[in-house]
């Protein structure tokens, strides 16, 4: 999905390309009732128009397979409104068109598909062949089940033009809606217990249900529904059907919009300064879908560094001001009791409070953590896609493995990843060039790749942590020496030394306390353990891959490595969320 072309309408301040579009996938009946179609069109048009108005910084795209009936109706409304159309086909085009019974339906399909911004042909499902899916039957139904799963996995809202009746038709609208909610599609999903998303808060369960009838015997909607009803339909325990967008999803969309705004606002600097995962020479041998992931990675990585610098500025400024507050108090209480020192104390406190409020108001710390987590998720997503790694389930993709049971607010990160990986997930890339690229660029050696990174950064953290420990030991031994000095010297000399030595001790303890507080705020000790752990798992993966005798074994190791990396990144963000400096900490440090 080309962010710079497909979504060129998502323009803010003259820049385009970094905004993450809001994807609406379509599922619905082919046999709509003619009398209801005008009303359905109005409701679809209103939904698309409202979403585009509510999220102007992102833009909206529609994903439709262009089957007769609901798919084509929504696609027509999208194009009428100037909304980009993404077309995933359940199989090769020449096989799919057999489903269009009339010349008119085929012509409409050809016209709509010619207007599509992106078109993907999904691969043949495991166990089937081109020949087996060429005829109507169970094998062909598997392709439609795969399409339903793909739509659910790569949209933010599933638009269902549906009678509200669940049935057993594989890949049918009822089953697609059920899969979107429960991760279960009888006849296609093989996992008996499903996934962790079944019991976790899930940002990917959102359905907009337009109730419709079917042009067949007993085609009226479910008895609890009326034709023309519209609902937001989710797994919310208190209100599964709502006329307004549920707040939990609104919050996820808001964070995604915030990322889009930040990326667009800094688009020029991101293009000039961000480090890519792909070089131009890689573009010639690797699948084009990787560029989409790399494009979003560059934005996330640059923004993470950008907000990391601001977060560290706030921490350093606050700690320095806390140190100055402590020195002012020592000067007033132990050196010269002049009010100027009290005024200085208050001034430093006001400045520290101002920095703290500014940092919180602009969410520097949260954005740094969220954007870094997004970047690391995209890193694994890109390298898995390049290497042809199977995530272990035909109904799950890389983004489904990330942050499943964590804070639901972090669901916006998966929302970005599901868009970035759309084109890669629609293909089955398994070339040797991709695997070689991943082994070289992701694993690397002691000087390159993630192995080199974790080795280098671990050494840096260890040196800083040792400096803090050295300061603490120095303060301890100075204190010990002072006590020994007071014991050994005469009373007269002790009186002469007491004040300056006590002041020196107070300043030393203050310095050590502020330094340790800063080290705790940036989690130096925990990061050392994390870098050591990551270096070990990458070293073990490198060793095992070098000994592997098949590409499939190498891909299996890369899958395990990616799972471990994603799990560690999830723990990282939870750990660092607890490290933000509270305002009361300023008083504790200065005391």
pLDDT average, residue stretch 142-166: 94
- Asked if pLDDT for residue 266 goes beyond 70, the answer is yes
Would you give the DSSP letter of residue 285? T
- Fold entry, domain 22-259: Rossmann fold (3.40.50)
Q: At 583, is the pLDDT very low, low, confident or very high (cuts 50, 70, 90)?
A: very low
Q: So what's the pLDDT on residue 6?
A: 46
Highest mean pLDDT among 117-126, 341-350, 404-413 belongs to 117-126
Report how far residue 334's alpha carbon sits from residue 326's, in angstroms, rounded to the nearest whole number: 12
Q: So what's the pLDDT on residue 63?
A: 97
Report how far residue 116's alpha carbon sits from residue 510's, in angstroms, rounded to the nearest whole number: 65
Alpha-carbon distances of 297 from 74, 276, 529, 531, rounded to whole Å: 31, 7, 25, 21
- DSSP for 80-135, please give it: HTT--EEEEESS-HHHHGGG--SHHHHHHHHHHHHT-SEEEEPPPPTT--HHHHSS
Q: At 196, is the pLDDT very low, low, confident or very high (cuts 50, 70, 90)?
A: very low
- Asked if pLDDT for residue 195 goes beyond 50, the answer is no
pLDDT digits (tens, 9 = 90+) for 287-330: 899 999 999 999 999 999 999 999 889 888 888 888 888 888 87
Would you give the DSSP letter of residue 32? B
pLDDT digits (tens, 9 = 90+) for 431-449: 999 999 999 999 988 888 8
pLDDT digits (tens, 9 = 90+) for 374-395: 999 999 999 999 999 876 667 7
pLDDT digits (tens, 9 = 90+) for 321-359: 888 888 888 788 777 888 898 898 889 889 988 988 898
Alpha-carbon distances of 515 from 323, 350, 521, 570, 578, rounded to whole Å: 9, 21, 10, 27, 18
Backbone φ and ψ for 38, nearest 5 degrees, come out as -55, -40
pLDDT average, residue stretch 51-76: 94
pLDDT digits (tens, 9 = 90+) for 496-509: 666 666 666 666 66
In the numeric block, the tokens 């093989």 are attached to 190
Q: At 193, is the pLDDT very low, low, confident or very high (cuts 50, 70, 90)?
A: very low
> Token digits for 196?
């962790």
Q: So what's the pLDDT on residue 127?
A: 86
pLDDT average, residue stretch 70-96: 96
- Asked if pLDDT for residue 423 goes beyond 50, the answer is yes
Report how far residue 184's alpha carbon sits from residue 165's, in angstroms, rounded to the nearest whole number: 16
Q: Give the DSSP H or E segment for 517.
A: helix 491-521
Report how far residue 424's alpha carbon sits from residue 120's, in angstroms, rounded to the nearest whole number: 10
Q: Check: CB of residue 386 under 8 Å from CB of residue 429.
A: yes
- Asked if pLDDT for residue 12 goes beyond 50, the answer is no
pLDDT average, residue stretch 219-241: 89
Q: Check: CB of residue 46 under 8 Å from CB of residue 179.
A: no
Q: So what's the pLDDT on residue 490?
A: 58
Q: So what's the pLDDT on residue 191?
A: 53
pLDDT average, residue stretch 203-208: 86
- Asked if pLDDT for residue 174 goes beyond 90, the answer is yes
Measured from the Cβ of residue 361, the count of other Cβ atoms closer than 10 Å reads 8
pLDDT average, residue stretch 263-272: 92
Backbone φ and ψ for 205, nearest 5 degrees, come out as -105, 10
Higher pLDDT: 165 or 573? It is 165
Would you give the DSSP letter of residue 2? -
Report how far residue 136's alpha carbon sits from residue 302's, in angstroms, rounded to the nearest whole number: 50
> Token digits for 225?
């529904």
Higher pLDDT: 318 or 62? It is 62
**6: Cα within 13 Å, side-chain hemisphere:** 25
Report how far residue 405's alpha carbon sits from residue 386's, in angstroms, rounded to the nearest whole number: 27
Q: So what's the pLDDT on residue 1?
A: 58
- Asked if pLDDT for residue 526 goes beyond 80, the answer is no
> Token digits for 219?
């085609």
Q: Among 62, 40, 58, which residue's Cα sits nearest to residue 151?
A: 62
Q: So what's the pLDDT on residue 199?
A: 45
Interstrand relation of 118-121 and 85-89 (parallel, antiparallel or unpaired):
parallel
Q: What is the pTM of this model?
A: 0.86
- Asked if pLDDT for residue 467 goes beyond 60, the answer is yes
3-state secondary structure of 102: coil
Backbone φ and ψ for 426, nearest 5 degrees, come out as -85, -5
Q: So what's the pLDDT on residue 149?
A: 93
Measured from the Cβ of residue 555, the count of other Cβ atoms closer than 10 Å reads 20
> Token digits for 248?
């939990």
Report how far residue 42's alpha carbon sits from residue 385's, in angstroms, rounded to the nearest whole number: 40
pLDDT average, residue stretch 113-141: 92
pLDDT digits (tens, 9 = 90+) for 77-86: 999 999 999 9
Interstrand relation of 241-242 and 230-233 (parallel, antiparallel or unpaired):
antiparallel
Would you give the DSSP letter of residue 8? T
What angle in degrees, to the nearest 10, is found between the helix axes of 524-547 and 551-577?
Answer: 180
Q: So what's the pLDDT on residue 164?
A: 93
- Average pLDDT score, the chain: 84
pLDDT average, residue stretch 9-13: 33
Between the CA atoms of 487, 492, 497 and 498, what dihedral angle is there, to the nearest 10 degrees?
Answer: 70
Q: Among 77, 76, 27, 26, which residue's Cα sits nearest to residue 49?
A: 77
Q: Which residues pair with 160 in a beta bridge?
A: 27, 209
Domain residue spans in the chain? 22-259, 280-590
């Amino acid at each position: 999905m080309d962010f710079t072309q497909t979504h060129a309408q998502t323009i803010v301040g003259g820049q385009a390309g970094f905004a993450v579009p809001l994807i609406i996938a379509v599922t619905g009946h082919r046999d709509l009732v003619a009398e209801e179609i005008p009303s359905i069109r109005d409701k679809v048009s209103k939904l698309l128009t409202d979403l585009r108005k509510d999220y102007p910084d992102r833009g909206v795209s529609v994903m439709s397979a262009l089957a007769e009936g609901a798919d084509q109706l929504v696609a027509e409304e999208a194009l009428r409104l100037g909304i980009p159309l993404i077309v995933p086909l359940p199989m090769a085009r020449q096989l799919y068109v057999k489903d269009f019974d009339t010349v008119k339906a085929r012509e409409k399909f050809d016209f709509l598909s010619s207007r599509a911004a992106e078109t993907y042909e999904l691969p043949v499902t495991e166990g089937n062949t081109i020949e087996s899916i060429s005829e109507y039957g169970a094998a062909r139904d598997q392709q439609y089940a795969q399409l339903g799963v793909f739509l659910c996995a790569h949209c933010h809202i599933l638009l269902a033009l549906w009678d509200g009746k669940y049935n057993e038709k594989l890949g049918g609208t009822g089953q697609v809606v059920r899969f979107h909610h429960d991760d279960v599609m009888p006849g296609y999903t093989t996992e008996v217990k499903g996934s962790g998303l079944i019991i976790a808060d899930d940002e990917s369960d959102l359905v907009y249900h337009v109730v419709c009838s079917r042009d067949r015997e007993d085609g009226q909607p479910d008895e609890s529904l009326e034709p023309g009803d519209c609902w937001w339909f989710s797994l919310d325990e208190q209100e599964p059907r709502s006329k307004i967008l549920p707040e939990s999803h609104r919050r996820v969309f808001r964070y995604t919009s915030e990322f889009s705004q930040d990326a667009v606002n800094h688009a020029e600097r991101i293009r000039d300064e961000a480090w890519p995962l792909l070089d131009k020479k890689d573009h010639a041998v690797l699948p084009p879908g990787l560029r989409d992931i790399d494009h979003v990675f560059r934005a996330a990585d640059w923004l993470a560094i950008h907000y990391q610098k601001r977060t560290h500025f706030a921490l350093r400024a606050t700690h320095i001001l806390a140190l100055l507050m402590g020195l002012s108090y020592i000067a007033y209480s132990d050196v010269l009791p002049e009010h100027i020192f009290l005024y200085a104390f208050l001034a430093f406190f006001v400045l520290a409070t101002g920095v703290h409020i500014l940092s919180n108001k602009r969410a520097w710390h949260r954005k740094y953590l969220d954007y870094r987590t997004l970047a690391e998720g995209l890193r694994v997503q890109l390298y898995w896609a390049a290497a042809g790694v199977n995530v272990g389930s035909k109904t799950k993709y890389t983004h489904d493995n990330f942050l499943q049971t964590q804070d639901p607010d972090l669901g916006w990160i998966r929302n970005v990843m599901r868009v970035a990986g759309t084109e890669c997930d629609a293909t089955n890339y398994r070339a040797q060039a991709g695997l070689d690229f991943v082994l070289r660029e992701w694993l690397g050696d002691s000087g390159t790749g993630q192995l080199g990174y974790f080795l280098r950064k671990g050494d840096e953290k260890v040196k800083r942590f040792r400096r803090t420990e050295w300061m603490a030991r120095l303060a301890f031994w100075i204190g010990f020496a002072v006590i020994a000095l007071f014991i050994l010297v005469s009373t007269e000399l002790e009186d002469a030394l007491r004040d300056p030595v006590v002041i020196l001790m107070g300043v030393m303890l203050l310095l050590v306390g502020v330094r340790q507080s800063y080290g705790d705020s940036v989690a130096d000790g925990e990061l050392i353990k994390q870098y050591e752990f990551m270096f070990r798992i990458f070293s073990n993966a490198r060793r095992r891959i070098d000994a592997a005798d098949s590409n499939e074994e190498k891909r299996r190791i890369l899958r395990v490595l990616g799972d471990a990396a994603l799990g560690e990144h999830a723990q990282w963000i939870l750990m660092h969320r607890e490290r933000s400096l509270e305002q009361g900490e300023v008083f504790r440090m200065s005391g």
